[in-house]
Chain A
Amino acid sequence: MEHGNEVLRIEHLHKEFEGNVIINDISLTVHKGEVIVVIGPSGCGKSTLLRCINALEDIQGGQILLDGVPVDRTAKNISRMREKIGMVFQSYDLFPHKTILQNVTLAPIKVQKRKKEDAEKEAVELLDRVGLADRKDDYPRQLSGGQKQRVAIVRALCMHPDILLLDEITAALDPEMVHEVLEVVLSLARSGSTMLIVTHEMAFARAVANRILFLDDGRIVEESADPKKFFACPETERAGAFLKTFDYE
């Protein structure tokens, strides 16, 4: 990867919860168009890492830069910064009191002050791309889990973020719905979106990643720019042991 097109840079990130170190000196640079997949055992700090990037958590050390500008929870520009960082969570987080179309256009209209017609036009196009344009007037509770997650992705995309953070977005889904959501993410990756993805779907990780980060105990234990090789024969023992737990899948 050439330099100069870096989107996100994390320097020596340190995060504690009540004295427990959760993120231990993590540094990471994400370039435009890169898809980085973060894997690691439950509780190792993957969600916390993404939440820190989106400034949903305060941090105790290090810094996070988006396009060279610090992401600081306490700074005045924080909502401007968050606008450029799209996030989709594991649990369905659509707004239950808004229709699908309203869910997707609320922030473009209220935050970016875009014209309602323009925002809706784009929203319908994007919804169409994930196969849900005909559900635009439904409420979230009328949709399946897989459909809701596709809407959540569209909602984030409508803000034209510089980077998309996906936190185990298929973990709460019935198995038959996982595929339809991952397909959407794969097509985003192909069209050049910059993404930081946390997932437990190893086959998907191998297919989508430019780079794999293996996290354990709040540290990057292994980093690989060759996902095929990483999954075939990881270099560290801990990554190996972790991957073994998926052997029965």
Chain B
Amino acid sequence: MKAPDFSYFEAQNIEDAIKYKSEDDEAVILAGGQSLLPALNMRLSSPSCLIDISKINNLNEIKIEGDFINIGALATHSDVMNNDLVREKYPCLVDILKMVAHAAIRNKGTHGGSIAYGDPAAELPAFAVAMDAEIVLSGLSGQRIVNAKDFYLGLFETDLKSDEILTAIRYPFLSHNQHLIFDEVCRRHGDYAMAGLMAKVELDQSKINNLDLVYFATGDKPNVAQNTARLVIDNGYDYEKLKKSLASEIDFAGDLNSSSEMKLHLATILINKILNKLER
């Protein structure tokens, strides 16, 4: 389990990294390395070069920009959890990150890395989709912004172009009547979930006005369950009905820890868990 040979480039700024990347199709970006390095050591991929962006200044900044909180790509999970702005404006993100791996991994793994990698079992891509986040990408032709909903295309497949680097994620603030509630079911604490749910709820008094349900660890990417959300708004929690709706909306893909039936069941009961949390 030793990585195959590769060359290594330590980028000092984004421009260099983009240039280098655009010149070499087989080079890959290295951020925290928590997903990339194990894959290299298992010889699952053999890139020509690792472009290390982790030394680039200011790419880990967390700041407020208008109606958004802007999280720099290199902010580690620990940076984000311990950031005062995030704690004040986005306490739910702190709770979510507590479920991401373990402290040692959170100290290295980056927010941008997780969003860019797009592991369908990861929490943050689903969070970004549920929050309607904007993903900031920089490439040879400058900067562009992609809505998280449009960023995830398929299994580990994103809209990131080969010359692009993800530089930041911008999350709009929740209004006073909006809540982001999440839950997940894992075999062990810190594991990728068997199924997880990010729910953005908009309340009118205590009635649900609007609901976005975004699942993770269920299929090939963050799975949005629009019809099911509609059913919840209209009829509340009805296990059989919701299960049927989810089954028609999401192509559940089983894994070692849970079959597709298990995931469908958990996806359904997660709605109940979310509604119960909402009541509290």
Interaction A to B? no
B interface with A by C-beta (< 8 Å): none
A interface with B by C-beta (< 8 Å): none
